Amino acid sequence: MSVLDLVREDLRDFGGYSSARSAKLQGDIWLNANESAWANPGDADASCRRYPDPQPQALRERLASLYGCQPEQLLIGRGSDEAIDLLVRALCVPGRDAVLYTPPVFGMYAVSARLQNAPALEVPLLDSNAGLVPDIDAIIATAKQGNAKLVFLCSPSNPGGLSIPLQQVQSVAEALRGQALVVVDEAYGEFADEPSATTLMDRFDNIAVLRTLSKAHALAAARIGSVIADAALIAVLRCCQAPYPIPTPCSALALSGLDDAALAQTRARIATVRSERSRLCIALSAQRGVRHVYASDANFLLVRFSDAEAAFQALLQAGVVVRDQRAAPQLQDALRITLGTPEQNDRVLDALASLELTA
């Protein structure tokens, strides 16, 4: 069985829209896309009057090298959000094929499922001594019983913070081979020690991996995300994608942000984040009013408070904005705190210490 058998039947031979840039034509006068012959006065280098390459080859090759895959196994999109949406639309027949995810978790899996009218299967994370961890046996059983076509595993989990061991990812992929695509969202993978699930793809064509430049690479506004999967599935997803997903300035910025010098600086900043993660975890755990600080492999800490509202307001008064998680399942007393610079993290600790003094 091929991974293409998981694609919606009506899309397996879908050609998608053929844009003016899809045809590999050569010339020096381009009159095939109804673009302006003149650059906009605000376009200093005249790079924006032409439609961009749908999949910029230089960027695709650079990302493939970064993530350890072949260029044909990688599709660039508007952040991981577009990749999630493409996967749900391409694989799930509305009203029939389900999407499984593990709350509390990144909300776009549920949003994309609802927009596609795909049944949603929720298998809550288990609050264990190790942290918030997936219930692998329940994931497999629920996926089989509920006709899941897509299983999203967030590793490291957002907002839980923990990575999923590769052996567990393999177990899910093996159990659901022929039924479901297992999508491992590695948005925070640069901050973790666990190897990428791309290392399993040679043996399991029903594994896909999501990556992004928004977190460790500090390019959130550029909106550059990638889905890595079997090359045949990538080709299908490309046919389902809008014609020109990657703006030329964003592509150029991403290439510049991935050169050797930039990557060296990114690695140094990741090391700082990891060091600060340990420091802040210890310091927060010692503060009165903090119930629990979850272990994290990401660039944030999930923290339970005896009075989360007071903590949230104290941080706001200090000019520090954190993510309120109290509406998420199981997290009625929790805030998610992104790790900033050492100075920013000190402000977090000072704000919460001042709250402790007035308690």
2 has a pLDDT exceeding 80: yes
Cα–Cα distance for residue pair 317/321, rounded to 1 Å: 9
Nearest to 328 by CA among 124, 146, 170: 124
Output DSSP code: residue 327: T
User: Residues 325, 180: one domain?
Assistant: no
Cα–Cα distance for residue pair 106/193, rounded to 1 Å: 21
Quickly state the pLDDT bin for 359 (edges 50, 70, 90): very low
User: Alpha helix (H) ranges present in the chain?
Assistant: 57-67, 79-91, 108-115, 136-145, 166-175, 231-240, 248-257, 260-285, 308-317, 342-358
Quickly state the pLDDT bin for 183 (edges 50, 70, 90): very high
User: Residues 131, 144: one domain?
Assistant: yes
Across the range 55-61, mean pLDDT stands at 97
Phi, psi of 139 (to 5 degrees): -60, -50
User: Residues 243, 224: one domain?
Assistant: yes
> In the listed set 209, 243, 258, which residue is the last one of a domain according to the structure?
258
CATH number (domain holding residue 278): 3.90.1150.10
Q: What is the pLDDT of residues 122-173, one digit of tens each?
A: 999 999 999 999 999 999 999 999 999 999 999 999 999 999 999 999 999 9
Predicted confidence at residue 115, as pLDDT, reads 97
CATH number (domain holding residue 148): 3.40.640.10
The number of C-alpha atoms within 13 Å of 119 and in the hemisphere containing its C-beta is 12
User: Residues 96, 229: one domain?
Assistant: yes
Q: What is the pLDDT of residues 226-268, one digit of tens each?
A: 999 999 999 999 999 999 999 999 999 999 999 999 999 999 9
Q: Are 337 and 276 in contact (CB under 8 A)?
A: no
Could you tell me the residue range of the domain that residue 333 belongs to? 261-358
Contacts of 103 (CB under 8 A, 6+ apart): 110, 122, 124, 125, 328, 329, 330
> In the listed set 258, 285, 319, which residue is the last one of a domain according to the structure?
258
Looking at every residue in the chain, the average pLDDT score rounds to 95
> In the listed set 258, 279, 302, which residue is the last one of a domain according to the structure?
258
User: Residues 247, 284: one domain?
Assistant: no
Q: 15 or 20: which carries more pLDDT confidence?
A: 15
Total domains, the chain: 2
Across the range 196-210, mean pLDDT stands at 98
Predicted confidence at residue 30, as pLDDT, reads 86
Across the range 38-46, mean pLDDT stands at 91
Cα–chain center distance at 343: 27
User: Residues 51, 118: one domain?
Assistant: yes
Predicted confidence at residue 96, as pLDDT, reads 97
User: Residues 239, 275: one domain?
Assistant: no
Nearest to 254 by CA among 68, 81, 110, 59: 59
The number of C-alpha atoms within 13 Å of 313 and in the hemisphere containing its C-beta is 6
335 has a pLDDT exceeding 70: yes
Nearest to 209 by CA among 102, 68, 310, 352: 68
User: Is residue 218 classed exposed, middle or buried when 0-12, 13-18 and 19+ CB atoms within 10 A define those classes?
Assistant: middle
Quickly state the pLDDT bin for 356 (edges 50, 70, 90): low
User: Residues 195, 289: one domain?
Assistant: no
User: Residues 137, 213: one domain?
Assistant: yes
Across the range 302-316, mean pLDDT stands at 96
**Residue 337, strand partner residues:** 301
319 has a pLDDT exceeding 70: yes
User: Residues 22, 108: one domain?
Assistant: yes
The number of C-alpha atoms within 13 Å of 276 and in the hemisphere containing its C-beta is 23
Predicted confidence at residue 19, as pLDDT, reads 80
Q: What percentage of residues in the chain have a pLDDT greater than 90? A: 88
- CA triplet 16, 20, 21: central angle to 5 degrees? 90
User: What is this structure's pTM?
Assistant: 0.95
Residues counted in the chain: 359
- CB count within 10 Å of CB 169 equals 25
Quickly state the pLDDT bin for 26 (edges 50, 70, 90): confident
User: Residues 100, 187: one domain?
Assistant: yes
Cα–Cα distance for residue pair 319/301, rounded to 1 Å: 18
Cα–Cα distance for residue pair 106/96, rounded to 1 Å: 23
Helix (H, G, I), strand (E, B), or coil: what is residue 209? strand
Q: What percentage of residues in the chain have a pLDDT greater than 70? A: 99
Q: Are 38 and 25 in contact (CB under 8 A)?
A: no
**Backbone dihedral region for residue 352 (phi beyond 0: left; psi -120 to 50: alpha; all else: beta):** alpha
Cα–chain center distance at 160: 14
DSSP of 284-313, one letter per residue? HHTSTTEEEE---SSSEEEEEETTHHHHHH
User: Residues 181, 312: one domain?
Assistant: no
